[in-house]
Amino acid sequence: MQSPENINDDFLFIDDSDDEEILSQGSDSYWKVLIVDDDPEIHAVTQLALSDLVVLGRKLEYIHAYSGEQAREMLAEHDDIVLVLLDVVMESDDAGLQVVRYIREQLSRQDTRIVLRTGQPGYAPEESVIKDYDINDYKTKTELTRRKLVTTVYAAIRSYQQIATVNENRQGLETIVSAATELFECYSIQDYAEQVLAQLSNLLGNIEQAVFCARGQGKVADADDLSLYTFGQLGLSGVLVGQKLETMRDDEMVVLANQAFSQKKHIINQEHAAFFLSSGARKAVICFTLQQELSAVQQQLIEVFLTNISVGYENVHLFQKLTDAAYKDWLTDLPNRAQFVNLLDDFASSQDQNLVAALVDINHFSDVNEGLGQEVGNLLLNAVSQRLSGICPGCKIARVGADVFGLIGSKEVINPETLSLLFNQPFAAGDHNLPINACFGFCTVDNAGSRGVNVLNQINIALNLAKKDRLVSHAYYSPEMEEQTQWRLRMIRQLRTDFADNRLALWYQPQLSLTTGKVIGAEALLRWQTADGSFVSPGVFIPLAEYSGLILDIGDWVVKQACQQIRALDQQGFDDISISVNVSIPQFRREGFAESIINATKQADINPSRLELEITESILMDDPKAIVAALVELKQEGISIALDDFGTGYSSLSYLQKLPLDRLKVDRAFVNDINDSGNTVIADTIINLGKQMHLKVIAEGIENLEQQEHLIAQGCDEVQGFYYAKPMPSEEFFAFLKQQ
β-strand 718-720 against 504-513: which pairing, if any?
A: antiparallel
Is residue 50 within 8 Å of residue 60, measured between CB atoms? yes
Regions in the chain scoring below 70 on pLDDT: 1-28, 119-134, 136-138, 141-144, 165-187, 206, 218-224, 308, 311, 622, 647-655
Q: Cα 548 to the chain's mean position, in Å? A: 30
Please name which of 99, 35, 89, 102 lies closest in space to residue 68, comparing C-alpha atoms.
99
Q: In what order do the strands lie in the sheet with 54-55?
A: 54-55, 58-65, 30-36, 81-87, 113-118, 137-140
H/E segment holding residue 566:
helix 551-571
Residue 449, Cβ neighbours under 10 Å: how many?
17
| CB burial string 709-729: b at 16+ within 10 A, e below | ebbeebebbbbbbeebbebbe
H or E stretch covering 32: strand 30-36
Task: State residue 118 phi and psi, 5-degree precision.
Answer: -150, 145
How far is it, in rounded angstroms, from Cα 43 to Cα 89? Answer: 15
Q: What contacts 142, CB < 8 A, 6 or more positions away?
A: 2, 7, 10, 11, 119
Q: Which residue type sits at 700?
A: E
Distances (CA, A) of 525 to 462, 499, 534, 559, 581: 34, 15, 17, 11, 7
Reduce the DSSP state of residue 106 to 3 states and report it: helix
DSSP 188-243: SHHHHHHHHHHHHHHHHS-EEEEEEEEE-TTTSTT--S--EEEEEEES-SS--TTS
DSSP code per residue over 253-294 = HHHHHHHHHHHTS-EE-SSEEEEEEEETTEEEEEEEEESSPP
Taken in order of first residue, the domains within the chain and their CATH numbers are: 4-168 (3.40.50.2300), 184-327 (3.30.450.40), 337-477 (3.30.70.270), 491-739 (3.20.20.450)
The pLDDT value recorded for residue 130 is 62
**For residue 577, how many other CB atoms are within 10 A of its CB?**
21
Which residues on adjacent β-strands are paired with residue 536? 528
- Parallel, antiparallel, or unpaired for β 504-513 and 519-529? antiparallel
What is the rounded (10 degree) CA torsion for 501, 504, 505, 507?
160
* pLDDT digit string, tens, across residues 458-474: 999 999 999 987 778 99
What's the confidence (pLDDT) of residue 524? 97
Asked if 514 and 717 touch (Cβ cutoff 8 Å), the reply is yes
Q: Provide the pairing of β-strand 578-582 with 432-434.
A: unpaired
User: Is the separation of the CB atoms in 583 and 619 below 8 Å?
Assistant: yes
Q: What is the pLDDT of residue 657?
A: 76
Question: 3-state class of 298 per DSSP?
Answer: helix
Residue 360: CB atoms within 10 Å: 24
Nearest-5° angle of CA 153, CA 159, CA 163?
Answer: 145
By the 10 Å C-beta count (0-12 exposed, 13-18 middle, 19+ buried), 665 is classed as: buried
Task: Report the alpha-carbon distance of residue 658 to residue 219 in Å, rounded.
Answer: 64
Q: Could you give the angle at the alpha carbon of 272 between the alpha carbons of 270 and 277, nearest 5°? A: 125
Would you call 58 helix, strand, or coil by DSSP? strand
Residue 8 pLDDT: 40
Q: Which residues contact 499 (CB under 8 A, 6 or more apart)?
A: 550, 553, 554, 557
Q: 428: which residues sit within 8 A by CB, 6+ positions away?
A: 379, 383
- Distance, CA of 633 to CA of 596 (rounded, Å): 12
Instruction: State the Cα–Cα distance between residues 96 and 140, nearest whole angstrom.
Output: 14
* CA neighbor of 35 nearest in space, from 4, 78, 1: 78
pLDDT at 24: 39
Longest CA pairwise span in the chain (Å): 159
d(CA 699, CA 690): 12
Query: Which residues pair with residue 359 across a beta bridge?
Result: 406, 441
Query: What was the pLDDT predicted at 651?
Result: 52
* Amino acid at residue number 565: Q
Integer CA distances (angstroms), 203 to 137, 157, 164, 200, 718, in order: 33, 24, 15, 5, 99
Do 690 and 656 contact (CB within 8 A), yes or no? Answer: no
Encode 518-560 in three state secondary structure: CEEEEEEEEEEECCCCCEECHHHHHHHHHHHCCHHHHHHHHHH
Report helix, strand or coil for 403.
Answer: coil
Of 265, 256, 170, nearest to 209 by C-alpha is 256
d(CA 480, CA 25): 89
Rounded to whole angstroms, the Cα distance separating 212 from 195 reads 10
**For the chain, how far is it from start to end, CA to CA, in angstroms?**
153
Q: What is the torsion angle, in degrees rounded to the nearest 10, for the CA atoms of residue 640, residue 645, residue 650 and residue 653?
A: 40
**What count of residues does the chain have?**
740
User: Of 608, 545, 621, which is closest to residue 581 (Cα–Cα)?
Assistant: 608
31: buried, middle or exposed (CB in 10 Å: 19+, 13-18, 0-12)?
buried
User: pTM score, two decimals?
Assistant: 0.54
Q: What is the structure's pLDDT at 16?
A: 42
Sign of torsion over alpha carbons 336, 337, 342, 346: positive
Return the amino acid letter for 707.
Answer: Q
> Distance between CA 621 and CA 502 in Å, rounded?
33
Residues 565, 569, 570, CA angle at the centre, nearest 5°? 120
Residue 624, Cβ neighbours under 10 Å: how many?
Answer: 16
